[in-house]
Amino acid sequence: MAAGLVDTLKGAGPFTVFAPTNEAFAAALTALKITKEALFADKALLTKILTYHVVSGAVLAADVLKLDGQEVTTLGGLTFKVTIDGDKVMVNTSNVIKTDILASNGVVHVIDAVLVPAA
């Protein structure tokens, strides 16, 4: 399944990825009480978490600002909430810390925590 996600993201897109930092992934593994190896072995959970970070379409920072208070549907069909507080932009409880990293098929925004879908 995760391979299917990679194939999807290699497609024409466009996509927007809210990408957690390496530190955010390490903290999430600790919080979830799971090892990296166990997460990678659980393809269903891995795919659910990864697709929770991807939105169809190229959503630039200026577009994100227009989403204040709205639920956004992810590639996996789940939703997360965008909140703006002054100059702080949050996706659920994750802070957006770097924006508008352009890719050939979309855009990446870096966040400081992994978005974990409800069980």
Domain CATH for 46: 2.30.180.10
Is 24 among the domain residues? yes
User: What is the pTM assigned to this prediction?
Assistant: 0.88
The pLDDT of residue 8 is 63
Is residue 46 situated within a structural domain?
yes
Q: Which tens digit of pLDDT belongs to each residue from 28-57?
A: 999 989 999 998 899 888 888 999 999 999
Task: Quote the CA–CA distance of 104 and 10 in Å, as a whole number.
Answer: 9
* Cβ(82)–Cβ(68) below 8 Å: yes
> In the chain, how many domains are there?
1
Is residue 117 in some structural domain?
A: no
Instruction: List helix spans (H) across the chain.
Output: 2-9, 22-32, 36-41, 43-51, 61-65
Domain range for 77 is: 2-111
What pLDDT does 1 receive? Answer: 44
Closest to 92 in 3D by CA, of 75, 109, 117, 110? 117
Peptide bond into 14 cis (omega under 30): yes
CB atoms within 10 A of CB 111: 24
- Residues of the chain short of pLDDT 70, as ranges, are 1-12, 119
